[in-house]
Chain A
């Protein structure tokens, strides 16, 4: 590390040394803030384009630049300058604070996601559990926000969101358990390293399916979008949000979409591994975008489930399939049928 400046002339070299250090670059530029902002804005644009193609809606196509690529910026500027409506008798500090907490918690886990062998902000020993712990704060946040809005639709949507996320969190954990057992570590860098030869989608295929479905339910994507079912609940738990509050919630939701897609890439799709003609982060982002596409597409295709069926499926089918895969992994690993996984 560089020495702290003692004389005024030392300050500029000090700043340059800080700015060019690997830590600073990982924090601010590549897996850090700038990259995250760009990708999340891209995802909002990408989802619109994709759905427009699927459902033949050619709406936001002409908002400046090729293919309406400036649309997210236009949206952002529009939303920032709109009025923030705070419902009558709402809990003001919670109503304004929870959206910020949501976007903060959505972006915090990116610190442990490895975008390449050295492209990770914090190489944490308990990375996977850290992500799950942070993600487990979302349901209560959403419930509190819905309660703070003092309106019936958000409250109903918030309760649905709570039960749905709670029902799908456990299958998600148990399906990730097989991966942890195969890699023998909770460190995400080591988990990706262990997939050098075989991606874990092979030995843990059932887990992959469970994890993918659980991810869609956690993200409240169709066919699991009950908490924000437009025909029934207006806009679900964020019905009363407007202006900047709405923008921040929107941002948090896309942040979570990117987070869960990259988590699937890390756990099952071999992370940064790929033919060497492209650099590692490029492979990682390509895979993540493919996963995100697979999560977005059903929105243009499916209808939604009923809430009690949804919860029942999560607790009976998915949990049992995930447990079956854990047993398969126990047998596979303890009989030595999976050599050369870095075990």
Chain B
């Protein structure tokens, strides 16, 4: 008997939902629920919180996020190549390596830009 593995994953997910869901949904019932503006103030080193918490945030690490997006795509392409690496001709593998090599230059330039604090 071989069930479809995806079906098994769905069943596993349902089991998890049934068994982990009550861990938060049940305690809410016996937890005090009436909100109180002063009691529920966010923690800020024991002081009264000042200003808004969700202020504009720094741009400093934005380039790394962009690099992540690009290499996420590249990584997925590489996995597709890697899983059939042993069965495809060497020429095709060289093509994929050329693909990687071509991406080296922008990666280096992006890193250089990211590390330059003046830009951000």
Stretch at the interface among A60-68, A102-110, A195-203, A256-264: A102-110
Interface residues of A (CB under 8 A from B): 1, 21, 23, 27-28, 32-33, 80-88, 90, 96, 99-100, 103-104, 107-108, 110-112, 121-125, 128-129, 136, 147, 149-153, 155, 159, 163, 166-167, 169-170, 173-174, 177, 180-181, 184-186, 234, 239-240, 243-245, 247-248, 251, 308, 311-312, 315-316, 323, 326-327, 330, 333-334, 343
Residue contact B67 to A315, C-beta cutoff 8 Å: yes
A32 proximity list for chain B (CB < 8 A)? 12, 15
> Assuming the A-B contacts A121-B8, A150-B54, A152-B53, are A311 and B61 also in contact, with contact meaning beta carbons closer than 8 angstroms in the complex?
yes
B79 in the interface (beta carbon within 8 A):
yes
A33 proximity list for chain B (CB < 8 A)? 15-16, 19
The 4 closest A-B pairs by CB, nearest first: A151-B42, A122-B5, A244-B27, A122-B8
Sample of 8 more A-B contacts, CB < 8 Å, known A112-B5, A155-B57: A83-B31, A86-B35, A88-B40, A159-B57, A173-B79, A184-B86, A243-B31, A334-B90
Interface residues of B (CB under 8 A from A): 1, 3, 5-6, 8-9, 11-13, 15-17, 19-21, 23-24, 26-28, 30-32, 35, 37, 40-45, 49, 53-54, 57, 60-61, 64-65, 67-68, 71-72, 75-76, 78-79, 82-87, 90, 93, 97, 100, 111, 114-115
A-B contact count (CB 8 A): 183
Instruction: For the complex, give the distance between the alpha carbons of A173 and B70 in Å.
Output: 13
A244 proximity list for chain B (CB < 8 A)? 23-24, 27-28, 31
Q: Which of A104, A124, A316 is close to B16, meaning CB atoms less than 8 Å apart? A: A104
29 pairs of residues in contact across A and B, judged by CB atoms under 8 Å? A33-B16, A80-B27, A82-B31, A88-B35, A96-B28, A100-B20, A100-B24, A104-B17, A110-B12, A111-B8, A111-B12, A122-B12, A124-B6, A129-B76, A150-B53, A152-B44, A155-B53, A169-B68, A174-B78, A180-B83, A181-B85, A184-B83, A184-B84, A239-B43, A240-B42, A308-B60, A315-B111, A316-B111, A334-B93
